[in-house]
Structure 1
Amino acid sequence: MNVRPQWWVHPVNTLIAPAAGRPPRSPERSFDAAMRAASRRSGLPWLPDEPFLSDLRVLHEAWHAVPDLTPIGRISVQAEIVRRLETRLRVLHLLDVHPEVAEEPIDRPVVITGLPRTGTTFGHGLLAQHADVRAPQLWELWSPVPDTGRPGERTLSRRERLARARTLVRSMDAMIPGFQTIHPMHPLEPEECVFALPHGLSHHVRAPVPGYRAWFERRDAVPDYLHLRRQLQALQWKRPRRRWVLKSPFHLLTLEALLTVFPDATVVLTDRDPARAMASWGSLAEAGMSVHCADVDPRWIGREWLEIWSRGAERARALRRAHDPGRFLDMPYGELTADPVGTAERLWRRMGEDFDAESRARALAYTRRDRRKDPGGHRYGLDRYGLAPDRVRAAFGPDPVGAGAARG
């Protein structure tokens, strides 16, 4: 893994350790403080909201119980809890003042998923170039709810919402300069749904939370996707309705819940050699964890995530077999990289959409720019994570997400 935190991260952790280095004495009081902070930031009082708050307490306690969480890591996870609480609070009040938002149709969304590091990000940006669709941008996912008009509300202009997203990106660049090589982020570019879903194993990337993982895997994820749906409704309220294009590899782990909430969704599945995908994913997970934890074990990353992703792929295959084959389309990595514009046209025509000259020109322009700061700078290998290609391929089988079932 060649992407590491900047030299100054360790001395800053040492400097702020007396104030931020220890876990909260009372997780309950710490969470209550986060709720008060969300209320102050929004200017809105809390409305009854169980079990959302109870569920978020599980994540809060799991993060703060990580034994080697750094002071910067502790500040980061607490800020993330506050952000998610603020978003939820604004959603509750928007629906309370404007119940018509809940009637906004989210028709035939396109959801791109698959194993991580298999082209989901590039494919998302590419399909989002269609002239008649829309993908949520980072700044929208970071602050998705428009003003409610409720007295006392701390309103956020578009400029302020953009500034929040820019702060996120600049913070990541400052602490891990090479992260943009692995996963480029820009406030005005399409981004994935992990910023909008309250729960998911993306939280397991910041710091190891095995208890939270066990809790999440036995839990019904439908409420998470209902919350995502509300945010999409808020984003399109009073704006032209367009077909949404969503993306996250983590949808692969919760496809059943996704299809329950979005029953007319089309799922586009990526496909790449899982040995390459797992090596690249290990590098990304290690980079993210190194900011939050004092001790990162690459071999634990290999074991843990091979199990998570191989089980997820197995469930996705079974779910695909049980559904209408037309609900699933394939976007193989080799095809995507060899002929991206042709791949976009094939997929949109399969989904019943024209691919006009404007869409083609936008897709072509997208393929000609590379947002990575150092396109050749991301180097990774399976051996660092204690894995061998044969072991990885055996864990996933010959057809990781059922791509062979509906190719073409």
Structure 2
Amino acid sequence: MNRAPRGGPYAAERLDADALRDEAVRSTGLADFGAPGHGPALDLLVASLESEARLTPVGRAEARETLLRALRTRLRLHAVPVPPVLPPEPPVVLIGLPRTGSTLLHRLLAHHPALRAPRLWELLAPLTPPGAGTADLVADAERHVAELSRTAPELARIHPTGAREPEECEHLMNTDFRNSVLGMLSYRTPSYARWLAEQDLTAAYALHRAQLAHILARRPAPAGSRLLLKSPSHLWHLPALDRAHPGARYVVLERDVDEAVGSVCGLVAAARRRRSDAVDPVEIGREMTAATHAALSRMHAFTADPSVADRCLTVRFTDLAADPDGTARRVLERLGLTADGALRRRWHEHLSSNPRPDHVHPRESCGLPPVGPRPAPHRTEATP
């Protein structure tokens, strides 16, 4: 699987972009990284991780593994042709800030047989390395999840996942080293984040599309189905996403901005504490307030465009939290799909087995003013 070891001599080793490239080449036997445009992105990300992220040895080892995984995937992408197997129907993409209910809705919709959501194991390894099989890839993803639970139990509780669960396609953005989740939420990398916000991600989304094609070639989607995608990283670069996936349908998750910022701060603090012992909640409050307003401005400009507006459906967090079954059915109806009794029973089982986690918003510690009470937990009424 060519995974970088956790801990050991790698834990304290400084990140170096050229050394990472050399190791990826040695471990795969491949040398073509494709267009050189990824180089400045990787160089800046690595420099920002080393000079600004305040990494612990464990955090540095994790960053190193993430970057090596992305470099190996990039090499494999340029070693084999892209399979022509994307579904004929444009994908359905959930867009919105983190902590707007997108994970809940994504996992409910993914139960529908006409919606194909990539699983975590597929996103971590969109191409199968030589000598590996599906069981190896799933086992690798299970180790990834176990390590998250061990080193960041609070983060795992806020955003629970599993190797075979639908997950955010932001993992596929790592191969071009232009990923807002990686560089804005997971790590403290302000120089990289400022640079990334102004970049054209057309090349990154071309690789995003190519990796989805490889995923579907390995495990085909049912006939007539659509891809179901979601990631908060898309918010800053929606026009590039739309060019890569023409005609995509968008489910726009919205939540009271003050509530969303507070919840995002809790997520970011938990993510960064996994990788650093020097996490400043007040700084996170300032960063996430500015990033949230910038993302919403871009999202609203994109969804208001006449060429896009009729492809968008807005879902409010309060509605989803109060009635996830009814909200998911409304989304399916807009897509021309139905929710039969068997599907609704699967939804009920999912909701019963995955209660909404209690999440305290650290507003005061992040320097943010208080807001009103949170919505009531979702109902799990019996389904006929």
TM-score (normalised: structure 2): 0.86
Picking from 71, 79, 93, the partner of 1:85 is: 71
Q: Which of 328, 349, 358 is residue 333 of structure 2 equivalent to?
A: 349
Alpha carbons 2:53, 2:189 under 8 Å: kept: no
Q: What is aligned with 1:213?
A: 193
Give the AA of the match of 2:239.
Answer: E
AA aligned opposite 1:327: R
Paired residues of 1:130 and 1:363 also in contact (CA < 8 A)? no
Counterpart check, 1:237 vs 2:213: no
CA distance in 2, matches of 1:319, 1:173: 36
In 2 relative to 1, CA 360–90 (structure 1 residues): closer, same or farther, beyond 3 Å?
same
Residues 78 and 22 (structure 1), Cα distance of their counterparts in 2 relative to 1, 3 Å cut = closer
Structure of higher RCO (CA pairs closer than 8 Å, 6+ residues apart): 1
Give the one of 36, 49, 63 matched to 1:63.
49
State the 1:190 CA deviation.
Answer: 0.5
Q: 1:339 aligns with which of 312, 316, 323?
A: 323
Q: Letter of the aligned partner of 1:174 in structure 2?
A: R
Task: Between 54-63 and 179-188, report the one with greater CA deviation.
Answer: 54-63
1:157 matched to 2:133? The reply is yes
Q: Is the 8 A contact 2:91 2:226 kept in 1?
A: yes
Match of 1:364 in 2: 348
Aligned residue for 2:93, secondary structure, equals strand
Structure 2 gap ranges (5+): 1-5, 372-384
Check whether the contact 1:42–1:155 (CA below 8 A) recurs between aligned residues. no
Match for residue 376 of structure 2? none
**Does 1:270 pair with 2:253?**
yes
1:32 matched residue in structure 2: 18
Deviations 1:119-139 (A, max 9, x none): 011011011111221101111
Q: Distance in 2 between matches of 1:139 and 1:230?
A: 17
Letter of the 1:163 partner, please give it: A
Secondary structure class of the residue paired with 2:313: strand
Cα RMSD (Å) of the superposition? Answer: 2.3
CA distance in 2 between partners of 1:371 and 1:22 (Å): 40
TM-score (norm 1): 0.81
Distance 1:261 1:124 in 2: 21
What's the offset of the Cα at 1:83? Answer: 0.6
Structure 1 residue 170 and structure 2 residue 146: aligned? Answer: yes
Instruction: Please give the alpha-carbon distance, in whole angstroms, between the structure 2 residues aligned to 1:104 and 1:191.
Output: 18
2:111 is aligned with 1:136: no
| CA drift at 1:217 | 1.3
1:309 maps to a residue whose letter is T
* Percent of aligned positions that are identical: 32
- Runs ≥4 in structure 1, deviation > 4 angstroms? none
Would you say 1:118 and 2:104 are equivalent positions? no
2: distance between equivalents of 1:168 and 1:21? 20
Task: Name the residue aligned to 2:162.
Answer: 186
- 1:288 maps to a residue whose letter is A
Per-residue CA deviations over 1:383-406 (Å, capped at 9, x if unaligned) read 11101147xxxxxxxxxxxxxxxx
- When the two structures are aligned, how many residues end up with a matched partner? 358
- Kindly indicate whether the alpha-carbon contact (under 8 Å) linking 1:102 and 1:230 is maintained by their aligned counterparts in 2: no
Q: In the alignment, what sits opposite 1:201?
A: 180
DSSP-derived class of the 1:155 partner: coil
